[in-house]
Amino acid sequence: MSLRRYVIKRLLMVIPVLFGVSVITFSIMQLVPGDIVDVLLGMDPNADPEAAERLRQELHLDRPIWEQYLLWLAGVLQLDFGFSPITGDVSETIVTRLPATILLGAMGWVIALVLAIPAGVYAAVNKDELADDVSRIAALFGIATPNFWLGLMLLLVFSLWLGWFPSIPPDVSLLHPSMLWYLLLPAITLGTASTALLMRIMRSSMVEELNKEYVRTARAKGLPERTVVLKHVLRNSLISVVTVAALMTASIVDGAVVIEVVFSWPGLGEQLITAIGQRDLLVVQGIVLLVGVSIVIANLLADLVYAWLDPRIRY
C-alpha cells in the first residue's frame, strides 16, 4: 500500500471515531445530575415559571435528546458551540483561552522531547553503567512525583525564595520574553512525568535495537559507532517513542488543567475548572470535546509518522 493510500485510509477511519467522541461527550453532559435551568434561575430571585420555560426553549431543553444532539452537532460543525447564559459565546471563550493552553502544552511537550530522547540514547549506549542508573532513578522520581506538588514546590523555591520567576503571569502578550520566562516553571512541571516515561521507553527501545543483527553487521563493516547509533538505531527506536509522544498529548492536556490552576495560567484548564464550579455545562461540553478531538488527531499524526519511519506498517 502506498503512503498516499495509507493516509487516505487513516483519514477516513478518523471520521467514525470523531463521531463517537461527539456522542460520548454529549451523553456525559446529559448524565450530569441537576438542572442547569434551576441553577441559572436560582441566581434571579424574581424568576417565575414562565421565565424557566423560555430559558428551556432558548437552550433547546424542551426537545428530545436526539434532536438536542443534532442541533448541537450542527453548530459544532460550524465551530459554533452555543451561547452560555453564564459565560456568553462558548466559541469565543474557547478561542480566547486556547492560545494560552496551546503555548503551555507545546512548551511542555518540547521540553519532554528535548530532554528525554538524548537522555534515553545516552542511557542505552552506557547500559548498566552509572549514567544508566542515574537515568533510572530520575525517571522513577519524575513518574512518581504529582505534578501539582512539583508545581507548588517550584513556585515556592524559584518564585518566593529565590525570586527568579514571577509568581503570577505578567500582563504582557503571550510571546513576550517575560511571559515565556514565566512559562518555564509550568512547562517543566507539565513535562516532567512525560520526560521520565519517554526516557525509559527510549532507553528500552535503543537497547533492544542495539542487540539486533543489522547493528552487528554495520559495526563489522567498519561504520563509526556514532553513525550506527544516530543513523540506524535511533530511527528504528523512534517508532516506539512516537506512540508515547502521541499519548503524551492526552497527559499534557489533562495535566494542564491542574497546572493552569496552580500557576494561575489563563488557559482552557482554568476555564474548565471555573465552568464546572458554575455548572456551565455548555462550556464544559465544548472544552471536553476539544480535548477529545485533539487526542484523536494526535494519534492520527502518530500513525502517519509510523508509516514514514517504517514502511512495513502500511501493510
Alpha carbon separation from 75 to 85, 91, 230, 295 (Å, rounded): 17, 10, 48, 21
Domains with residue ranges and CATH for the chain: 3-90 (no CATH), 94-314 (1.10.3720.10)
Contacts of 78 (CB under 8 A, 6+ apart): none
Question: Which cell is 10 given?
Answer: 487513516
Average pLDDT of the chain is 81
Cα(112)–Cα(104) distance, integer angstroms: 12
Binning pLDDT at 50, 70 and 90, where does residue 229 land? Answer: confident
In the chain, DSSP assigns E strands to 83-84, 88-89
Share of the chain above pLDDT 70, in %: 87
pLDDT tens figures, 126-165: 887 887 888 888 888 887 888 888 888 999 999 889 889 8
Cα(229)–Cα(210) distance, integer angstroms: 8
pLDDT tens figures, 81-120: 888 777 888 889 888 888 888 888 888 888 888 888 888 8
User: Strand 88-89 to strand 83-84: parallel, antiparallel, or no bridges (unpaired)?
Assistant: antiparallel
Q: 220: how many CB neighbours lie within 10 A of its CB?
A: 8
pLDDT tens figures, 3-59: 678 778 888 888 898 899 899 888 887 777 666 666 666 555 566 666 667 777 777
